[in-house]
Amino acid sequence: MTTEQLKEKFIERYGSGEVKGYFSPGRVNLIGEHTDYNGGFVFPCALSFGIYCLIRTTDRQTVRFASLDMPFEAEVKVEDLNKSIGKEWVNYPIGVFAQFMKKGLSFDLGADLLFYGDVPTGAGLSSSAALEVATAVMINDVYGFGIDRIELALMGQKAEHEFALVNCGIMDQFVSAMGKKDHAVFLNCDTLAYDLIPVILDGVKIVISNTNSPHKLDSGKYNERVAECQAAVKAIQPFKQIATLGEISWDEFLKVEDKIENPTVRNRARHVVSEIQRTQDAVKELKSGNLIRFGELMNGSHDSLRDDYEVTGIELDTMVDEGRKINGVIGSRMTGGGFGGCTVSLVKDESVDIFIQQVGLNYEQKTGIKPLFYVAEIGDGGKRLF
Ligand code: GLA
């Protein structure tokens, strides 16, 4: 849908007058999975698709929420914008309004809002972070609060914790707020120091394969992994003083690994610590143009997420296995939280068509589900469009 069409839809619903439009992207993570809430490194890029949000302020003391692609509408009094309204999608933007109120800021005007997303929801491409960041960037601009971008990302993350009850890390909101066209964000999730690294893929595309098996972050499995990582930190503490798994190097981990008695907790920690190392190595390889080694690290990441972290499952594993069989595939792994969702693969230009055709066929044959493919374009972080 074009921005002109979006404006028309807004006017159809709310009547004519001035309209402002904002956009924040979904993301694909190239490597560094389940490391963010462990104070580790991540390496995601913002996508060209995401969530659009149109707004007009009003002198009614309510905010009206509607979406072109999600069911459910709501009208909420401005003083009630800090109260959850259950499991509907509206709860995400409301959760963001609530974060502004928590800072002691108030809304002197009501507003009419219309949302639209072209990022697939529930596919592990961070449609929820895109929704939170689009809302945060919009509120900040329209109401003139002057909060900086990184703080807006943190507010989006808090909204997710408090209103969606997922104890997520900062990766998704950060890249949705701070991403840059044709760059990946190399982020230290402990200090929030970051580098924008140009993604120069000579003759290679980033292909996203959607298993069309919804990832279920709110199913409790995500929070279970967060808790298992905290248990690993506790088990390591008598031997090395750490506050997060991000504070122990791979070599140090090898020395204390067998002190972690619970084998599941040990495996979870092994994934996290090795993934943090892989992420740092991968960024070095990309910078020096060694895509082959970058792809091997992507493969290593998936295998570790499958074997030690156990967040893949039959659909993601089948997609990755089928992808790796294709000539011209440099690396392939799950991306995002896991338990369904998408994979990300580096595929040589000349193999992209055959990849989509062959992997699509074989995946459908094996799982009975029709997948979807997108050739990723790396876009900018959240911004005002008009
Ligand atoms: C989800 C979370 C992120 C991150 C990833 C896994 O996308 O929202 O914070 O933990 O899973 O890397």
Six token digits for residue 320: 């990755």
Cα torsion through 122, 23, 159, 270, rounded to 10: 60
Atom of ligand 1 at shortest range from CA of 35 = 12
> pLDDT tens digit string along 129-164?
999 999 999 999 999 999 999 999 999 999 999 999
pLDDT at 284: 98
Pocket mutation for ligand 1, best pick of 34, 224, 344 (most atoms within 8 Å of C-beta): 34
3-class SS at 112? strand
DSSP-assigned letter for residue 378: B
Give distance in angstroms: CA of 111 to centre of ligand 1.
31
Report the run of H or E that residue 7 belongs to, with start and end: helix 3-14
Q: Inter-axis angle of helices 314-324 and 352-367, to 10 degrees?
A: 140
Atom of ligand 1 at shortest range from CA of 42 = 12
Place of tokens 């905290």: 230
Ligand 1 shell residues, CB under 6 Å: 33-34, 36-37, 126, 168-169, 171-172, 336-337
Active site residue 172: yes
Give distance in angstroms: CA of 285 to centre of ligand 1.
23
Give distance in angstroms: CA of 289 to centre of ligand 1.
27
Pocket mutation for ligand 1, best pick of 41, 47, 168 (most atoms within 8 Å of C-beta): 168
pLDDT at 215: 64
Pocket mutation for ligand 1, best pick of 171, 216, 333 (most atoms within 8 Å of C-beta): 171
What number of other Cβ atoms are within 10 A of residue 18's Cβ?
7
| Sheet order of strands, 74-77 included | 74-77, 62-67, 110-117, 44-58, 20-29, 383-384
For ligand 1, atom 11: residue with the closest CA: 337
Q: Which amino acid is at 245?
A: L
Atom of ligand 1 at shortest range from CA of 169 = 9
pLDDT at 87 over 70: yes
Query: How far, in Å, CA of 130 to CA of 297, rounded?
Result: 27
Query: How far, in Å, CA of 345 to CA of 25, rounded?
Result: 20
> pLDDT tens digit string along 289-311?
999 999 999 999 999 999 999 99
Domain 3-198+380-384 has CATH 3.30.230.10: yes
Query: How far, in Å, CA of 34 to CA of 309, rounded?
Result: 9
> pLDDT tens digit string along 202-247?
899 999 999 998 765 556 899 999 999 999 999 999 999 999 999 9
pLDDT at 356 over 80: yes
Tell me the pairing of strands 74-77 and 44-58.
unpaired
Contacts of 2 (CB under 8 A, 6+ apart): none
Give distance in angstroms: CA of 162 to centre of ligand 1.
16
Place of tokens 């919804």: 214
Pocket mutation for ligand 1, best pick of 36, 271, 333 (most atoms within 8 Å of C-beta): 36
Confidence of residue 86 (pLDDT cuts 50, 70, 90): confident
Give distance in angstroms: CA of 33 to centre of ligand 1.
7
Atom of ligand 1 at shortest range from CA of 171 = 9
Cα angle: 36, vertex 374, 308; to 5 degrees: 35
165 phi, psi to nearest 5 deg: 60, 30
Give distance in angstroms: CA of 222 to centre of ligand 1.
8
Confidence of residue 121 (pLDDT cuts 50, 70, 90): confident
- Partners of 29 in beta bridges: 44
Atom of ligand 1 at shortest range from CA of 33 = 12
Domain assignments of the chain as residue spans, ordered by start = 3-198+380-384
Confidence of residue 67 (pLDDT cuts 50, 70, 90): very high
Closest-CA residue to 60 (of 4, 111, 128): 111
Confidence of residue 191 (pLDDT cuts 50, 70, 90): very high
Closest-CA residue to 140 (of 22, 267, 301): 22
Give distance in angstroms: CA of 15 to centre of ligand 1.
39
**DSSP per position, 117-157:** E-SPTTSSS-HHHHHHHHHHHHHHHHTT----HHHHHHHHH
Torsional sign, CA 319, 320, 321, 325: positive
For ligand 1, atom 9: residue with the closest CA: 169
Helix-, strand-, coil-residue percentages of the chain, each rounded to 5: 45, 20, 35
Average pLDDT (359-367) is 98
Q: Which of 172, 303, 308, 321 is catalytic?
A: 172
